Amino acid sequence: MDANVTTLDRQARAGEAARAEALRAALAREGFSGDVETGIGPRLVAATDNSVYQVMPAAVLHPLAAADVNAAVRAARAVPDLALSPRGGGTGTNGQSLTGGAVLDLSRHMNRILALDVEARTVAVEPGVVLDQLNAALRPHGFFFPPAVSTATRATIGGMIATDASGKGSRIYGRTSDHVLSLDVVLSDGSDFTVRPRSRAEVEAVVAAGGVAGEAHAEVLRVVEEHAALIADTFPAMNRGLTGYNLQGVTRQDGTYDLVRLLAGSEGTLAVTKRAVLRITPLPKHRLLMVARYGSFDAALRDVQHLLAADPLAIEILDDKTLELASRDVIWSGLESVLGGPAAAAVRGLNVVEFAGDDRDALAAAAERCAALLAASPFPAMDWARIDDPARVAQVWTMREKAVGLMGRLGEMEGTRRQGTAFVEDTAVPPERLADFVAEFRGLLDRRGLGYGMYGHADVGCLHVRPSLDMTDPAEEAMIRAVSDEVADLVKRHGGLIWGEHGRGYRGEFSPLFFGPVLYDELCRIKGAFDPDNLLNPGKLASPGLGGPIDRIDQVPTRGSFDRLIAEDQRAGLGRAVSCNGNAACHSWDDYDAMCPSYHATRDRVQSPKGRATLLRAWMRLRSEAARGRDVAAELAAVEADTKASMDTCLSCKACASLCPVKVNIPEMRSRFLGAYHASRPRPLRDHLLRHLEAGLGLVRAAPGLAGALMGSGPVRGLLRGRFGLVDLPHPAPTRWRPRASGGGPRVVLLRDSFLSTFDGAVIDAAGRLLERLGYRVTVSAVRPNGKALQVLGLEGAFAKVARRALAERARLAAEGVPLVSLDAATGLLHDGEYKEYAEYSVLQPLAPVVSIDRFLADEAAAGRIPARPRGAGPAFDILLHCTEKTAQPETAARWGRVMTHLGLDARFPKVGCCGMAGLFGHQAEQAELSRRIFDIGWRSRIGPDPAATLATGFSCRCQTERFAGHRPRHPVEAILAHLEGSAG
C-alpha cells in the first residue's frame, strides 16, 4: 500500500475536522439554535441527491428559526474557504445542493405554514414546507398551489423556487415563479432583504441605500436595460424557458422590476430564502382523464399536437419501458383494468390527457371533443378510455409520479446492473418539434447501445429521458460527458434547452452555449454583485469573476466512482442498497404514509431507507478497501457505528420493499448487516432470549395464568427491563376454541401463529367459529415457531431451520388438497417472502399457496360458496390495516370491503400510518419512546371515540393500541362473527 496515500487521507480528514470545529465555534458565536451535524452518517446522507453525484459536505446545518439562517450565513463567512449550500427536499437531479462545504438543510424545522389569507388568495410559508403539505392545508379552503411536480410528497417550496419548478399542467398554470409574490431572503453578508416587484423609483432607492442589495439591484438594472434586445432574442419563447437568472422576466409589462423572477431558478447561488409569500389558485372541483394507448411512441408524440385542439390542462406521455416498470409495481393493482388488458403487450406509448374545471358538463363536452380528435387523428391510437372516478384519476397520476423512481429499475428489464440515470432527463424543445427531436434523441442513444425510458410533459415539449448506465463501470460513466455534449448540441439545434425543468446544477458549464458569451458574462457580474466572495453554492451557475471556475459534469465525484470500490463478495444480499437512486420517495411529509415510520417520527434522513442504503454502501465500500489493505479503520468504525444506530431504529415493517420505486428492501439488508456485525461482536442478552422465545411460548400456553402472574410481577418486569431491555410484554391470552370433531362441508386449515396462539387467541377462536358457522370443516395446524424475530435479528442459520420446517409442514398439508389460511399478515407473508429462499432445499412436492383470511373469504364469496347476509344496524367500521399487509398486498382493503359488504356490514379504510410496534420493536426499552411517537403521529388519531367501531388486522397493532389507548381493537373476523351471531339471535 502507498504510504503517501495514507498520509494524504489522514491530512484530509484532519482538515475536515478542523473546518467543522471552526464552523461550530462560529455558529455558537452567532447564536445559531438549530442542529449542527458533523458526524459521518448525516454527512454521507447529505452527500447525494437524485443525481449521479456524491460530494461529502463538511457539516449539515438544520436552522430552527428564521434568524438561524442569518446566523449560518455569517458563521460560514467566518470560516475560510467554506461554502454554504441551501437544501430542501434533496430531490435535485443535477447536484444542485451538493457541496464540499456546509449544507443548510431548511426542511427539518423550517416547515411551517405561517399565514393564510383566503380573501387575498395568498399564503406565507417557510422554505421547508412540502408541496403536498401545503396543498393539504389549502384544500379545505378550496385552493391549491398549482406547480404539480412529480416529487410533490417531499419537494419543498424553497427547492421549487430554487429551480423555478413547473411540472404537470404548466401550459396553463406556468412555473413556480408565476405564483411567487415576494421572498424574504438572507443575502451573502448575512443581512435581510425582501425581494418583490418594485417601481423604478423604488429600485433606485435600494441602489442608493448601498450594500449587497444596492449593488445587486444596480447590476441587474444595468443588464436588463443595456441588453434588452439580446435578452429577448436569446431567451426562447417556450413554456419551459431558461432556468437560472431569468433576465427575461425581470422587466414587467407594467414597467416595474421583479427580481423574484431572477432569484427563482438561481439555485441558492444569489441568496437564501427564509420566507415566501405565494399566490394560491382556486382548486378545480372536477377532473377527468382521457387515456389513449398507441402502437408506437412516435405516434403518441405526434398525436399530442393534434390533441391540443381540445385545450386540455395537460398531456402527459409514457413509453413502453415506463409502463412495463409500472406494471411490476404495487400501484399497478389498481390500474391494470385501464392501462393493461387486451393488447397490452403491443402498447408502445400512452397519452394521458387531463381536463379540469368546475362544470361537469363542460368537462364532459371537452372529453367528447378529445374523443373525436382521437377518432379522426392521422396518428391513430389503438384505443382510449375515459376516467372520471377521482380515486382512479389519483391512481393514474400516482403511477406517473413514480416514474422518476421506477427508472432506477431499468436494469431489471435488461438483466444488467444498469439503471436509468439522470443527466439529460429534462430536455425541452418547442412542442411542435418534440417528435422530430425525440426521433433523433432515440437514434443517438440507440447508436451507443443504451437502453432508456421516456416520459414527460408532451404538451409543453419537455421530456424526461433516463439512459440506462452502470455507473460503476468507468467506460459507462464516461458516457455522461459524451451523451451530454451530443444532446446539448441536438437540443440547441431544435431551438430548445438541455434543462427544461429540473435546474442546471453541475450542468452550469453549458450556460455559455445557450446564453451566449455576452449574457453569460453578465450573469457572472450579477453573481458577483450578489455574492462577491462566492460563498453561496459556488461552482454551479456562474462565477463572481469573469472566467472564474465552474464545476464541470465530469470533474465532480459520482456515486458510481465510490460504488465500484465495493467488492463482489460484499454485495451479497446487500446489492439493493447500491440500487438506491436517491429519488427520496421515503421522505414523504405525510405521517400517514406507510413507508418508514422511523423517518416520520424523527425527520432525520439518516433514519430512512435512503439514509440506510447510503450508509450500507459506504460500509461495504470501506470493508472492501480494508480487505485490500487500505488504512480506513477509523472511517470504517465511524460508518459502522452510524449504520448500526440507524438500523436499530428500523422497525423492519417492509413497507420500503413494496413502496420504494426501486424496491430498496431495508429489513432484508438490515438482517444481513446484523449477521455480519455480530459475527465479530457478542450479541446482547436480549438476542439470546429472543432466539429461544417462540420455543418457550408453549410453556406459556400450557399455564397462561401462572405465566401472566409471573410476567406481570414487579421482580420479573424489573429483570426483563434491566437485563434484557424489554418492556410492556403482552399478557397471555391463548386460544380456547377447539375444532368440531366431525362435520361436513369443505375443509380448511387455519395456520396457527405462535404469537396469536399465545397472546391473542381470541382471533383464532373467532376465525374458527366463523368458518364453521359459514359451513366449513375447520382443522388447525400445530403451533409452530414462525422465526420472524430470528430473521429480524440476522440469525440466519436459526431462521433457515424454522423456514424449512414451516415449508415442509406446508407441503404436507398441501398434499391433502385443502386451503391453508393465515390470520396475521406479518407472519403469513413470510411464506411469500423470506421463506421462499429456502423452498428449494426443503421440499420436493409443490407448495399450495398460503392465503390470508380476507382473500379466502372474498374468493369464497365471489364463488357463491358463502351466502350473502342482510345489512345490519349500526355505523360503519373503520378497519386499520397492518402496514406490511397493505403495502405488500394493496388489494387487501378492497377484499375486506367486499367481504364486509357481502356479510351485511359497512367498512371504511382510513389512511393510516404505522402503529409503532412492529413485532418486538416497541417492546425494546431503548425504542419505547420512539414507538410511542410513531403511534401518536401515524395511528392514534385514526382511533374513533367508539372503541368497538375500530378494527385492526395486525396483532402488533392491537397490542400497541391496547398499550397506548387503553383498549384492544377487534380483528375483522371478530366483528363479522358478532354480527352473524347477533343476527341469528
Residue 297 pLDDT: 95
Q: HSE of 8 in the Cβ direction (CA atoms, 13 Å)?
A: 6
Residues 76-107 have pLDDT tens digits of 999 999 999 999 999 999 999 999 999 999 99
Residue 443 pLDDT: 96
Q: How many helices (H) and strands (E) does the chain have?
A: 46, 26
Question: C-alpha cell of 651?
Answer: 422497525
CA distance 628 to 865: 65
Residue 404 pLDDT: 74
CA distance 803 to 367: 54
Is 806:790 a contact under the CB 8 Å cutoff? no
Is 498:487 a contact under the CB 8 Å cutoff? yes
Residues 621-671 have pLDDT tens digits of 999 999 999 999 999 999 999 999 999 999 999 999 999 988 999 999 999
Is 472:417 a contact under the CB 8 Å cutoff? yes
Residue 982 pLDDT: 85
Residue 814 pLDDT: 78
Residue 310 pLDDT: 95
Residue 332 pLDDT: 76
**Residue positions counted in the chain:** 985
Q: Other C-beta atoms within 10 Å of 283: how many?
A: 16
Using a 10 angstrom Cβ sphere, with 0-12 exposed, 13-18 middle and 19 or more buried, the burial of residue 845 is: exposed
- b/e for 542-572, b at 16 or more Cβ within 10 A? bbbeeeeebbebeebebbbbbbbbbeeebbe
pTM of the model: 0.94
Residue 562 pLDDT: 97
Rounded to 10°, the helix 892-902/853-862 angle is 50
User: Between the CA of residue 556 and those of 53, 99, 477, 553, 560, what are the distances in Å?
Assistant: 7, 10, 12, 6, 11
Q: What's phi and psi for 354, nearest 5 deg?
A: -110, 140
Residue 65 pLDDT: 97
Q: Using CA of residue 115, residue 116, residue 117, residue 121, what is the dihedral sign?
A: positive
Residue ranges in the chain whose pLDDT is less than 70: 1-14, 243, 840-846, 984-985
- DSSP 3-state assignment of 114? strand
* Short-list 142, 91, 89, 90, CA closest to 111: 89
CA distance 547 to 544: 9
Residues 935-955 have pLDDT tens digits of 999 999 999 888 899 999 999
Residue 48 pLDDT: 97
Residue 985 pLDDT: 47
- Pairing, β 747-750 against β 462-469: unpaired
Is 405:587 a contact under the CB 8 Å cutoff? no
Give 813-819 contacts, CB < 8 A, sequence gap 24+: 813/749, 813/781, 813/848, 814/845, 814/846, 814/847, 814/848, 815/845, 816/747, 816/749, 817/848, 818/747, 818/748, 818/749, 818/779, 819/748, 819/749, 819/848, 819/851, 819/856
Q: Using CA of residue 352, residue 353, residue 359, residue 364, what is the dihedral sign?
A: negative
